[in-house]
Every structure is written in structure tokens, then in C-alpha cells.
Amino acid sequence: MGKEKATKRFTTFRQDFAASIVVFFVALPLCLGIALASGAPLFAGLIAGIIGGIVVGSISGSALGVSGPAAGLAVIVLQAISDLGGYQVFLAAVIIGGLIQLMLAVFRAGIIGYYFPSAVIKGMLSGIGIIIVLKQIPHAFGYDLDYPGDLNFNQLNGENTFSELANMLDYLSPPAILVSFVSLSILIVWEAYLMKKAKLFNLLQGPIVAVLFGIAYQLVCQRFWPSWAISEGHLVSVPVAKNMESFLGQFMLPDFSAFLNPEVYWVGITVAIVASLETLLSVEATDKLDPHKRITPTTRELYAQGIGNVLSGFIGGLPITQVVVRSSANIQSNGKTKLSAIIHGFLILFSVILIPRILNLIPLAVLACVLFMVGYKLAKPSLFSKMYHLGAKQFIPFIVTIIGIIFTDLLLGISLGFAASILVILRENFMNSYYLKEKKVDDGANRITLKLAEEVSFLNKAAILDELNQIESGTFVVIDMSESVRVDYDVLEIISNFSQKTAKEKDIEVEIKKGKIKIDQASF
């Protein structure tokens, strides 16, 4: 038994280690790109990635979630740095945001994540998948003006997702296209064919091979065919420290005097709210993607994120959230436990210390192809078909969320999907609050039975009021509440007004079957 456990533990470690390398390659350009878009030092993104992996990953109860800097906060950070007058002042806001997250954990605010409908979460995953593919196409063709990891429709360079695709056609890079073609071929053949042939190909992930190809291509071309080498602007750009002293010099403390500035607290509140929402949504999405369907303790997740943000703010890092793209890459690479997230954090740390120049040989085109695969798996056509066949109640919020994410941004898209879910529920309540059965009696007079459901809330007022107003004069009406368990006072008030006033004015006879419902006799 002990031997079996050891073997299983070793197998899990191998799978986690292989997955962590893929997550590392996905996370590296995202950390740098988000820092660039935020107007922060590039190293600030790496700090957030390191802490998100090692610290948050260790504390979190999420088996497969990966944390780091998030694109959804880039615009907020950029504006805050400008308004507050400097990055070190902003770091104080990051610390405050982390402390607020710790308070949210104390009050168990993590439960908020459970109130987002499944259709919206699935729409979020598919929307992110589509936007990843659309955003990475220019990078695959060698047009890299938009930062890696951007998920917003309107870009910081003044373009949008679709206009960027049009502009790309004027700046095509043959070397980048060649690298993309070969890399994508490696990824597809590896997953569709080789992984099914031998265990070795499951251990050595396709994205790792594609990245090694990209580095080899760049080295060979720099040596023998310089004209076919990828230009520096289309490569990963990790800050290179000359020695350990200069490396440590890239860390920075916050401006502690900023804690006396009220504006810093408002920014901290904003960071805490947005980061917490993105984290809770990512947790829900990651748990749905988890093959083992493990449930992440959300309160503990907020606690882990709070600790991570306090530490990140103290040493110069960007705000941290759990991130869907990196978490999805982890799951798709067969990560099994949170060890993969932790190892990826150490890989970022050690690589920027030991091999930054090698990292700077990686073409962004290769990483774009890796993200193509992530995006496709998040937005498989079969999911659209499945959601459609589940009916309008599931499909409408699903598709609204996707469209919202593509044409706005992540949080607004999810808000639109959530609003669509509420509207669908309201319509369901409107339609299902009662049923109407009309009969003819011997003398030909109309007799209508209005039977209420078990639960009737104020949301049903409009439907019931509309039906009562349509009843013609001379009708005998039975309002049957005999099977109702709860009827809101708002509805009882409508029935009371109808029976005592409207019915008498229209010569309508009303019989009320109260059943178990307690009704104020003075009202009827």
C-alpha cells in the first residue's frame, strides 16, 4: 500500500512539473505584457507572477488555480499610477487592497462567487477562449503592438480587437508566420497523434517542444540567416540584471507616506473589489474545468489573495488575482495538484535570475500558438451546441456573456450575462406564477379558476395583475391558493383590491380558496 501511494505521488509530481513548465511559458509574457500595459516597471509583473505562484499557490485551497497579474486590472493600475503621482504611491494602494481582501475573508464574502449562474461561467470561459484566439492572431503574424494578455475590446493603442486584425495585414512578418506555422503543427500533431502513442509524449508537453523549437530557430537564424531571425520587438523581453545586486535592486518598497493620502484608500478599495470579483469568477470557472470536480474554498482563496497582494505591494509587485487563462493552461496540461502553480512561480523566479537572455530568445509567435490551443479548448463548438440544446434559459445568458466579453471587457461582459440571467428568471416567474383554466357551466356563464403556484413572490405581481384586469364582466372567478405555501403580501394586496373594488365595479363574482395561507381577514 505504501509503495502504491509513493508511486502515485511520484506520477502526480511528474504531471504537475510538466504542467508547471507550460504554465510558466504562458505566464511569462502575460506578466510582462500586463506590466507594460499598466505603466509599471516590467519587473513588477514578474514579482506578481512569482508571488502568485509561490505564496498564493501555497496558501490557496484551489487544486488547479493559478494566480498572477490580471489584464482586467491593467487600465485601473495605469490610471491610478497617473492620478496618485507615481508607482511607489500606488504600491500602498495594493497593500490596502490586500488588507481589504483579508477583511472580506473574515466576513466570508467568498460565497458571492456561488451566485453566478453556471451559464454565465461557461459563457465567460468560451468568451475568454474566443478573445484569446482573436488577440493572439496578430502576434502569430508578427504584429505585436497590443500587449500579450489583453482581453479588452478597446485597446490601449487606440485600436480594437477587429481593427487590429485589419492593421496586421500591413505588417506581416514572414519569419513570425513560419515559426507560427511550425509551432502550431507541433502542437496539433503532438496532441492529436503522438500523445496517444507513448507515455513519453504525455510527460514532454507539446508547448515545451514548440518553445524549444522557437529558441533553436532564433539561435540558428541569428548565426546563419540573420534576415530570417525574429526581430527583437517580437520576442519575449525579460529585464536582464548584470548581477545579483542589480537584480535585487529591481524590487522596491512602497511610499509609506502615501498611507496618509485618502485617494490611496479609494484606489485600494477599487483594487480589492475588482481583484476579488475576478478571483471568485476564476475559481468558479476553474472548478468547472477541473476533471475531478474539486470545490475550492472561496473564503480561503480570498485570504490567500489578500496575503499575496499585501506582500506584492511591499516588494514592488502588481495586484494579483486568480487568472482563468493560466488556470486553463494548467488544467489542459494535465496538472493534478496546486504543486504545479507553486513550481511555476519558482520557475519564473529562477529563470529571470539565471537565464533571462535565453528567455529573450522565445518568439511571441510561439506563445501565441500555445494560447491558440488554450483558447480553442475553452470555446469548443460542441459546448455551443450543448448549451443551445439546453434551452433558452441556459443559452441566452451564455451567448450574451460571450458577446459582452468580446465587445467590451471581462467584468462588463459577465455583468451583461448576469443581467440576462435575471431577466430570464423574471420572465420565468412571470410565466409560471400561476395557471389559468376556463370552464363553461350549464347556464353558459364563464367560470375561471386562477390557481397560484406554491411560491408566489412580488416578482409575479405584474403577471397576476395583468390577468385579473383582463377578466370580463359577469364572470365567476375562483382564486385558488389551496396549494400555495407562501404568497407575498404584495400579491395578497392585489387580490384584495380586486375582490373588494374592481370585481364589484365590473360585476364579477369572486371566490377565494385560502388553503393554508394566513390572510388578514380584514383585507378580504
Tell me: the pLDDT tens digits for 472-494? 888 888 888 888 887 888 888 88
| pLDDT exceeds cutoff 50 at 236 | yes
Q: How far apart are CA 78 and CA 80, in angstroms?
A: 6
Half-sphere exposure of 390 (CA within 13 A, CB side): 16
| pLDDT exceeds cutoff 60 at 439 | no
pLDDT, mean of residues 341-351 = 96
Over pLDDT 90: what percentage of the chain? 60
Radius of gyration of the chain (CA): 29
What is the DSSP annotation of 141-174?
TT---SPTT---SB-TTS-BHHHHHHHHTTS--H
Q: Looking at residue 430, what is its pLDDT?
A: 66
List the alpha helices (DSSP H) in 115-261: 118-140, 161-168, 174-192, 200-203, 206-224, 244-248
Half-sphere exposure of 240 (CA within 13 A, CB side): 10
Q: Looking at residue 514, what is its pLDDT?
A: 80
Range name among 65-79, 106-120, 390-404 with the lowest pLDDT average? 106-120
Over pLDDT 70: what percentage of the chain? 93
Tell me the pLDDT tens digit for each residue of 186-213: 999 998 888 777 777 777 788 999 999 9
Tell me the pLDDT tens digit for each residue of 447-465: 888 888 877 877 778 778 8
Tell me the pLDDT tens digit for each residue of 387-402: 999 888 899 999 999 9
Q: Which of 169-178, 199-208, 308-317, 482-491 has the highest mean pLDDT?
A: 308-317
| pLDDT exceeds cutoff 80 at 134 | yes
Please indicate, yes or no, whether the overall pTM of this predicted structure exceeds 0.75: yes
pLDDT, mean of residues 151-155 = 87
CATH of region 433-523: 3.30.750.24
Question: Which of the four pLDDT bands, split at 50, 70 and 90, describes residue 440?
Answer: very low
Q: Looking at residue 521, what is its pLDDT?
A: 45
List the alpha helices (DSSP H) in 227-338: 244-248, 262-289, 298-315, 324-332
Question: Which of the four pLDDT bands, split at 50, 70 and 90, describes residue 518?
Answer: low
**In 3D, which of 319, 228, 323 has the Cα closest to residue 279?**
323
pLDDT, mean of residues 257-284 = 94
Q: Calculate the average pLDDT of the chain.
A: 88
Q: How far apart are CA 58 and CA 33, in angstroms?
A: 25
Domain ranges of the chain: 11-150+160-379, 433-523
Q: Looking at residue 55, what is its pLDDT?
A: 97
Tell me the pLDDT tens digit for each residue of 2-23: 556 666 667 788 899 999 999 9
Question: Which of the four pLDDT bands, split at 50, 70 and 90, describes residue 331?
Answer: very high
Q: How far apart are CA 303 and CA 287, in angstroms?
A: 18
| pLDDT exceeds cutoff 90 at 112 | no
CA angle in degrees (0–180, nearest 5) for 335-339-345: 105
Q: Looking at residue 198, what is its pLDDT?
A: 72
**In 3D, which of 450, 437, 448 has the Cα closest to residue 487?**
450
